[in-house]
Amino acid sequence: HLQSMELQHHPLVASAGVTLSVAVRAALQSSLPLLCQTQRFASAKLLGQIRGLSADYLVAIGEDEVGERRYFYCVDGVSWAALPTASEPERALCSRLPAGLLFTGDPSHSLTLPELEDDAAEAEPAEPPSVSEEVRLAVTVEQIENECAMVPKGALAPTAWGGFRSDPSFGGIKAEAALNLSSYVLRNCKAPKAGPMAFSADTLASADSTVPAGALCTRLDPATGAALVRSLLFPGFVAYCQPNTPVYGYCYFGDGKKNVDIPFMLP
């Protein structure tokens, strides 16, 4: 029961607006096991879907035996391509893109950035910087993983290589605890007090330390009994767990936009 969404868990998040067409689900049921086999992963799970104007991107996470993760994307649910790892300059370029800019659905689409005032003042006009939509997709997935990805406390165990992977002995959390943010940890974020070489599961930041406070909300789905944690920072992100069972995960179904106005929306 790894962290991203297993297809059989889809009904647990349906009430949060997470939908997959029958055709896409059928394609994923064949292509994810094949991706896992060809890349020699221990697991390959769906992270979610990022909407585009002409096509939507499906994003998958492959995890090997030591907990190393790699990301893949496709638009058809079949033809997976590796998502590149963005460089610092590419992250900086993506941060300059206009807020609210939608994805086109074409990974090769090139986005030209507006020149900075310092650039415009140069004697020789340089070619304006650009970034591909594929890189922008990688940066967006990285942001969602770093700022939102969460699992119940106790669900992860440290590896000898300094990472984390699912703890097979995890048996779940109680129903009352499942609605408390302090029962979850951010899987890619260390607690502020954790030292750089500390790698126990206790060093992960608790979800109730998320900034700004109030950016996460919990509820129990009466139809399935699953606890759902939704993010207002990245609307479309949902973490879930079935109390008293080892079933948990998270997914993101949205347009990839971060809600930068959230500090003004919270009481």
Residue-wise burial string across 48-72, b where 16 or more C-beta atoms lie within 10 A, e elsewhere: bbbbbeeebbbbbbbbeeebebbbb
Quote the pLDDT of residue 2: 40
What is the reported pLDDT for 113?
84
- pLDDT score for 194: 55
| Cα 70 to Cα 68: distance, rounded to the nearest angstrom | 7
- pLDDT given at position 198: 56
> What is the rounded average pLDDT for all residues in the chain?
88
How far apart (Å, rounded) are the C-alpha atoms in residues 206 and 211? 11
Residues of the chain with pLDDT below 70 are: 1-5, 116-125, 192-201, 267
The per-residue pLDDT for 1 is 39
Give the pLDDT confidence score for residue 3 in this predicted structure.
47
The string of pLDDT tens digits covering residues 107-135 is 999 998 877 665 555 556 677 889 999 99
Q: How far apart are the first and last CA of the chain?
A: 36
What pLDDT, in 10s, does the model give residues 194-242? 555 555 667 788 898 877 788 999 999 999 999 999 999 999 999 999 9
The fraction of the chain above a pLDDT of 90, given in percent, is: 64
> How high is the pLDDT of residue 193?
65
Instruction: Please check whether residue 212 is in contact with residue 262, taking contact to mean a CB–CB distance below 8 angstroms.
Output: yes
Contact 97, 136 (CB under 8 A): yes
**Residue of 39, 30, 29, 31 lying closest to 63 (CA atoms):** 39
Phi then psi for 16, rounded to 5 degrees? -90, 10
Enumerate the β-bridge partners of residue 152.
184
Assign residue 231 a region: left if phi > 0, alpha if psi is -120 to 50, beta otherwise?
Answer: beta
Give pLDDT, residue 74.
98
pLDDT score, position 86: 96
Helix (H) or strand (E) holding 12: helix 10-13
* Pair 10, 221: CB distance under 8 Å: no
Residue identified by tokens 């496709």 is 74
Q: Contact, 159 vs 129, CB < 8 A?
A: no
Instruction: Report d(CA 181, CA 204) in Å as an integer.
Output: 13
